[in-house]
A and B are shown apart, each in its own frame.
Chain A
Amino acid sequence: MDVVYEGEVMRGVRLTAVKADRFKTGCLSLTLLAPHTKKTAAMNAVLPYVLRRGTARFSDMQALAAELDDLYGARIEPAIRKKGEVAAVGFCADFPDGAFLPGRVDILSKVAFLMGEILLTPATRGGLLRGDYVLSERQNLMDDINAEINDKRSYASLKLVEAMFRGESYALSKLGTLSDAARISAQTLTKYYRELTASAPIEIFYCGAEEPERVIRVIREALAALPRIGEHVMPATSVKTELTETGERIIRETMDVTQGRLVMGFRLSKSMEQPNLAALTVFNALFGGSPTSRLFLNVRERLALCYYANSYIDLHKGAFFVAAGIDHDRFDEVHGEIIAELASIANGAVEPWELEGAKRGVVSAILSSLDDPLGLEGMYLNRAISGCRARPEELAALCELVTPEDVSAVAADARLTHTYFLTAEEKDA
């Protein structure tokens, strides 16, 4: 098993370092954790892109790109993720392991220093982040927000989440809104940047051949200029465990699409009081998250009702979603079938083979992610944000212990509150 170091290496800066010799590519990520709110979402989404435009030493993208080419095509890419109501904002780098390069370059420290530079010494004018970079990346963000419509499958999910969580900050997409983006200026963004770098808790993840002690030293040097003020409190997601509204709201939207896109949103309440991550994960695999799931085997294969039908859980928010691509005139059938499958699991009709299949899939996926540096990065970040103590191997072992009753309990706890259907306009015959 790999050696994993976890600890605070500077005030409010936690490092997870996985020492593994088998990879040819090392991975280093730096993530600032901030509340995902209407006021800050667009700024969170634009900030890493502005910082990535240039530093005091490499003043534009071309100079930065040339430096990265020199580091054998190392990449340092902005990463913006929404985890429940937490915005995870920062950079993710990957780079070839020095052992395979001519002259055995010390590539980790070069990449770490460059990442530190991008975060801490951005290109500025008159003490502010460069106005031309801010305006240009603001425009790119607005283009990205406008482009959310391009992929109809994810667009349908965004629209469902927007309606289902109205009044909660979870309703907002990770990119924020057009009007909030339009208000970003060099002044507001610089102010936010200073607050964020000073106060946000920071998660750093490394996976590669270097010893953790060395990684700690490199990180401390690369982030020596990091301002640290205040408590660095981990932002939290509010989970509504008591629902006031009853019944299901169905929203239909029409667009020129050849395939209908159905998304159904469920809230979990009791199972979020003391979340059993293993039970939730196995439930999702059994219901709609795998090729042995009810949705795949029954709705897609047996009834041939759709091309895709799957489910996914946001473990941070306590919500789960079903998405399907279907014929426009089969809404009622698919919608009814999905509800019936969930009800049958809730009523205890869980077959031993399907539970076993779901467990095998989940366990194998977790263990496989140990062989994928980016997969590991994601798992450790989720773990840091959710406060769940189990490491990936431990979570895999817990999944083996999940009982049919555990799975039924999750299904029984799920309450359908909203359905969204993107469909074609009815044509006159």
Chain B
Amino acid sequence: MLRKREYAAVGETAFTGKTGSGLTVTVVPKPGYRKSMAFLAVNYGGADRNFRLAGELISTPAGTAHFVEHRLFEVEGGENALTTLSERGANANAFTSPDMTAYHFECTDSFFENLELLLKFVSTPYFTDEDVERERAIIAQEIRMMEDDPEDAMYYALLRCLFDKPALRESVAGSVESIGKITARTLMDAHKAFYIPRNMALVVAGDQDPARIVEMAERLLPDNMAPAPVREHGPPEGPLPVAVSAEREMDVGAPMFLAGAKTKSGLTGRESVKFELTASLALSSLLGAASPLYRELYDAGFINETFGYDFENTAGASMLSFGGETQKPEYVCMRILEEAADLAARGIDPAFFARRKRMALGSALRALGSFENICYNVAAGGFAGYDYLDTVNVLASVTAEDARAFLAEYMTLDKCAISIINRKG
């Protein structure tokens, strides 16, 4: 029932199995480590606002998935699972992204006791109107804190430039206004639809017995055979941004910008891994510290250490972004797009590209040092239909031409939008 697979290229092993009700369990043994991590992920995030439950279309306010995450730690009888796990010394936490909600703990002691509690509290909702009311105040503070953060403000302004669909434009926490509409019933519906074994994954990293983990999941998760819910994401986004720029003044030390473009949407499986690796190799060829352009902009004082780039998959869509502090946001952005066009026209030097791939291999190995990273990516890969531990082999298949074509297609003036935070006064 448990399948063992060795990944020689990265020196890892994984045991994978499924419980009778459809929960995927993956255990990545980590001999020699004292700590272990358990990570229970739900294929449900901030962008899954509209879905069907027993045929009925349900629309939920922005921030619902995140609200569920906050309240789920509360167990009937006044117990709080976070407190109990912490009392036992486990470092427990949870997060909500646009397409995932996850609950996890790391501990050096009492692993199975903690796992038992994790499986129980995540699968047993207990939402009262009074608790929901109190939580609203706490989440409102969290939202306000993010509103004061210039980087968050800049990031969400870019999302609003790029995307058309509300689910992709809004923060997973929602707004003070939208969470005002959430009731205990809203949370119950969301839990009922999404927190079912076949829509979840349990990942463990550590020196623990895989068979015992599967047995415990089998025993503790409800025998709920409900099908995975149908999400209503609507038609895919068009390739162009809905607005080209956003500007705002805040109390910051220096102006900063984040530019970006929508990239391919709806990819799954190995294709999506290859696309992600291509994107990051293309961006590092153009903008990495070893690129001529980075040196030109850094030497001229147009960018500093804060400059960076990123690619992310988010709820069926994907995007690239780049930016940092600068006195000349528009100039830097235009210069980057100009160089992207040049590089796309002349092609990426093969020797240079080979070095970028060595670096990418090193980064992939480095990422395996973090239990949280392993757990998150194994779960995300499972939901998207690929095997994270095998990505090093996909890396080998990415060519300089793939990266060149990526730049030619997406790093263009018409596809990019820019979000700028100016210094107040």
Contacts and interface: CB of A to CB of B under 8 A. Distances in A.
Interface stretch (A233-241, A263-271, A300-308): A300-308
Given A62-B289, A73-B360, A152-B148, 19 more contacts: A21-B32, A22-B30, A22-B32, A25-B366, A49-B305, A60-B295, A62-B295, A65-B288, A66-B355, A74-B362, A94-B366, A150-B251, A307-B144, A359-B89, A360-B109, A361-B87, A367-B35, A368-B35, A368-B91
Q: Which 9 A-B pairs have the closest CB atoms?
A: A73-B362, A146-B253, A360-B89, A72-B362, A307-B141, A147-B253, A364-B89, A73-B359, A65-B290
Contacts of A306: 141
B252 A149 contact: yes
A327 to B, nearest CB: 7
Contacts of B361: 72-73, 96, 101
B365 A291 contact: no
Size category of the A interface is 35 or more
Best-surrounded residue of A60, A149, A364 (most CB of chain B within 10 A): A364
B397 interface: no
A371 B289 contact: no
A49 B298 CA distance: 13
Interface string B5-39: 00001110000000000000000001111110000
A69 B34 contact: no
A62 B32 CA distance: 39
B1 interface: no
Interface string B220-234: 000000000000000
B59 interface: no
B393 interface: no
Interface in B72-116: 80, 82-83, 86-92, 106-109
A69 B351 CA distance: 12
B163 to A, nearest CB: 24
A38 B305 CA distance: 24
B188 to A, nearest CB: 22
B318 to A, nearest CB: 23
A100 B253 contact: no
B108 to A, nearest CB: 4
A360 B389 CA distance: 33
Interface in A146-178: 146-153
Nearest to B106: A368
Interface of B: 9-11, 30-35, 80, 82-83, 86-92, 106-109, 134, 137-138, 141-142, 144-145, 147-151, 250-254, 288-292, 294-295, 298-299, 301, 304-306, 325, 355-356, 358-363, 365-366, 368-369, 424
A68 B358 CA distance: 10
A243 B365 CA distance: 52
Given A73-B363, A150-B252, A304-B138, A258 B83 contact: no
11 contacts: A21-B32, A62-B291, A100-B11, A143-B325, A152-B148, A152-B149, A291-B92, A292-B87, A307-B141, A357-B86, A360-B87
B171 to A, nearest CB: 14
Contacts of B80: 301
Contacts of B9: 100
Nearest to A374: B369
B149 to A, nearest CB: 7
Interface string A1-28: 0000000000000000000111111000
Contacts of A300: 138
Contact of A307 (B91, B138, B358): B138
A297 to B, nearest CB: 7
Contacts of A364: 89-91, 107-109
B29 to A, nearest CB: 11
A62 B365 contact: no
Contact of B134 (A68, A297, A304, A327): A304
A412 interface: no
A151 B10 CA distance: 38
A333 to B, nearest CB: 13
Nearest to A67: B290
Nearest to A373: B369
Contacts of B295: 60-62
A318 B137 CA distance: 35
A279 interface: no
B86 A368 contact: no
Contacts of A22: 30-33
A69 B90 contact: no
Interface string A33-65: 000000000000000010000000000111001
A258 B148 contact: yes
A94 B275 CA distance: 27
Nearest to B12: A24
B86 A367 contact: no
Contacts of A20: 32
A381 interface: no
Contacts of B360: 73
B367 to A, nearest CB: 9
Contacts of A139: 301
Interface in A354-381: 356-357, 359-361, 363-365, 367-368, 370-371, 373
B148 A61 contact: no
Choose among B87, B109, B138, B305 the residue with the greatest number of A CB atoms under 10 Å from its CB. Answer: B87
B141 A69 contact: no
Nearest to B363: A73
A276 interface: no
A357 B84 CA distance: 9
A258 B147 CA distance: 7
Nearest to A328: B144
Given A60-B295, A61-B298, A72 B359 contact: yes
A370 B141 CA distance: 35
Nearest to A140: B304
B12 to A, nearest CB: 9
A307 B142 contact: yes
Contacts of A94: 366
Contacts of A74: 362
B290 A24 contact: no
A25 B373 CA distance: 14
A148 B294 CA distance: 24
B109 A147 contact: no
Nearest to B392: A100
A236 B291 CA distance: 42
B87 A353 contact: yes
A73 B83 contact: no
Contacts of A360: 86-89, 109
